[in-house]
Amino acid sequence: MSGIGVEAGAQAARSRALAVLRVRSRALAVAVLPAGAAVILLTGASTGHLVGPGWDAARWGVGVPAVLVLLAAAGVGLVVARARPAISPTVPVPEESAPDLYRMVRDLADRLEVPAPSAIALTPDCDSWLEDRAHSAHGPPPRPAPGRPAGPRTPVPPVLVIGSPFLWWMRVGELRAVLAPVIAGTGPSAHPDIAAARRFVRGLDAAVAVASAPGRRPPVRGLCAAVGWVARLLLRGCREHATQMERGVAAAAAERAQAVDYGLRIVAQEQVGLAYAGWDRLLTRVALPAWRMGRWPSRLDAGVVAALTELSRRDRLAEGFTSRLGERPACDLLEEPGAVDEAASLLAARLFHGGPTTPCADWAPVDWQAYPEEVVDRTWRVDAARLHRALDALGVRPSRHPGTPDPGGPTLARVLDHLTTGGTPPAEPAHPHEPLRPAPVRPGPRADGGGYSSQGSPASDDVTRSGGVGGRGMDADGEAEAEPGTDRSVALAARLTAELAREEAQALRAGKGAAGALQGPDSVAWAPGDPGLPPFPLQPHRTGRELLADHVTAMVCCAAVDTAGAVPALDWLDGPSLLLDGERAADLAPKVLTLIEDGDPGPLRDWLTAFGIRPEKPVRLV
């Protein structure tokens, strides 16, 4: 390693840490300045030098504000010292459950000549970092590593947080190479000045969060506002220095880590990007549909391996990655990788979707073998049921075919006839002003694995028609831009949007009560006063055309399953899929869009005929 580079980065970090501490010292000096002036005036009176009516008035005029300033400073300091700094939601990994992983980390710390992390935790994300959890509010500090006794004044090393997808996709050597720069950061973190500066900044940040918490009475709210103002003022004063301090720490750690597996790290960085792409696609295309149906996949990390293996099979650029699978995976460093994967999968569902912290009747795990039946098929039938409820609300008559056992049942032909341009106009509903009744089922994702958006969904048709998902979008200049589609498709999309908004509002109210009931004393509340909301939602905003296309696609899939022997399946890269004669139906989307945008059912009917799908037969709904 380059000792000059390490020393330069550490020196820059220490100088910036001292600058942060000088901000703290100046704030303390401002707080004690009136008290110092009051002490001088009182001392002068006791010695007989500063006497007289004017000096007496000065002593009262300075002494009372000095006491108030000291009390305010003490209050702010108490809040900063006692406020609980935010910590990342993680899955703790005790040493007895992963002795090989701890051994590898300590060996790496010895090679880097830095203190070993105090503990290891996993996060459902493709990132790794060090996190200081030495604050008293976070519980007792972790036990020191064997052979590394910590004295009463020795700073407790930070916790090493590792992305759980790394453990399943990376090999042991790759994981060691990726973690080397992270673990090297424990060296600068042990410096007293840097540790003190970090504690000060984290305390200010926690004080701002405490002051911003809602639900307080007006007098307390005013005091908290004053504390928050002071904390924000100090944060602005030390923000630049804290940023440069962290950059110096990172530079010193990266320079120190160059001596360990540098060549392998270059190769491992390619796996980091690949794991991130696979993890993001798995969450948005595979996990999100299951979460919306009240199921959470219990082996998400194992699913990353399957998804990336499938990517290696499809993409010629990734052909060389499959040869890595013969090496020892990093998850072998865990004693029970299945249990750890399940805990990380539940945390991922909690982070990116919200919901209870523990499994329950409406929040049950699902394995990959049962995914097509419990998630894919049920999602399609929930969407199809919602589509027919919207048609009922619009007064669309059932499609009647004499040869079917239930001519008035839910059929695909009813959807095709309604969306076809030039068809019979729908009858007026019996009660046109009667609001829709929210359904008791939770909204499902679209058939290709995307998710519905609960962000900004309108609660009425009037709001829907005014813009956004009801058929109008925004162009680059911020003006309303009509989406392609017929009048019937726009109206049906507006009905679906309103129906889905009501269902999501009902599910949100029920979820908030359930989440609050299941919130334990050590659980993390994602938002103040609302423990059921996820901090990182994966629900993208979707237009009315996309919403209608997903529901029509779901109806087509239901008809294919019920009348043509098709089966629901799971595609690791694209999520829910339909298998016809053992082959994935990948050419359905353009035909559905032609029906919605142009009112032309010809391509879709030809496709249905080619696979023997009968649209006039009723389908089974949820």
State how far Cα 42 lies from the chain centre: 58
Check residue 536 and give its pLDDT: 66
CA distances from 62 to 28, 40, 205, 209, 334 (A): 18, 10, 32, 33, 65
Asked whether 531 and 537 are in contact (CB, 8 A), the reply is no
Q: How many CB atoms lie within 10 A of CB 195?
A: 18
**pLDDT digit string (tens) for 472-526?**
444 444 444 556 778 899 999 999 999 988 887 887 676 555 444 444 333 344 4
Check residue 428 and give its pLDDT: 42
Check residue 470 and give its pLDDT: 34
**How far is the C-alpha of 545 from the C-alpha of 490, rounded, in Å?**
7
Overall average pLDDT of the 291-318 stretch: 84
Which amino acid, residue 65?
P
Overall average pLDDT of the 563-572 stretch: 92
Identify the weakest region by mean pLDDT among 200-209, 350-359, 367-376: 350-359
Length of the chain: 622
| pTM, two decimal places | 0.79
- Residue 158 pLDDT > 50: yes
CB neighbour list of residue 491: distance below 8 Å, 6 or more residues apart: 394
- How would residue 535 be classed by pLDDT, with cut points 50, 70 and 90? low
Asked whether 458 and 468 are in contact (CB, 8 A), the reply is yes
- Residue 391 pLDDT > 80: yes
CA distances from 375 to 282, 359, 545 (A): 15, 17, 23
Identify the weakest region by mean pLDDT among 12-21, 410-419, 540-549: 540-549
- Exposure string of 298-312, with b = 16+ CB inside 10 Å and e = fewer, is bbbbbbbbbbbbbbb
Closest CA to 593 of 551, 563, 560, 562: 551
Extract the tokens encoding 350. Answer: 């909690």
Q: Please tell me which residue, 214 or 513, carries the higher pLDDT value.
A: 214
**pLDDT digit string (tens) for 113-144?**
999 999 999 999 999 999 988 765 555 555 55
- As a 3-state breakdown, the chain gives helix, strand, coil percent values, each rounded to 5, of 60, 10, 35
Q: What percent of the chain is predicted at pLDDT more than 90?
A: 44
**How far is the C-alpha of 319 from the C-alpha of 310, rounded, in Å?**
10
What are the residues facing 577 on neighbouring strands? 569
Overall average pLDDT of the 374-382 stretch: 94
Residue owning tokens 């003022």: 233
**pLDDT digit string (tens) for 33-44?**
999 888 888 888
Phi, psi of 405 (to 5 degrees): -65, -30
By CB neighbour count within 10 A (0-12 exposed, 13-18 middle, 19+ buried), where does 622 fall? middle
Asked whether 482 and 609 are in contact (CB, 8 A), the reply is no
When mean pLDDT is compared over 62-76, 93-107, 358-372, 471-485, the highest value belongs to 93-107
When mean pLDDT is compared over 263-272, 286-295, 540-549, the highest value belongs to 286-295
- Residue 364 pLDDT > 70: yes
Check residue 21 and give its pLDDT: 94
**pLDDT digit string (tens) for 279-289?**
999 999 999 99
Overall average pLDDT of the 323-329 stretch: 76
**How far is the C-alpha of 167 from the C-alpha of 341, rounded, in Å?**
10
Q: Please tell me which residue, 246 or 507, carries the higher pLDDT value.
A: 246
Overall average pLDDT of the 166-189 stretch: 91
- Residue 212 pLDDT > 80: yes
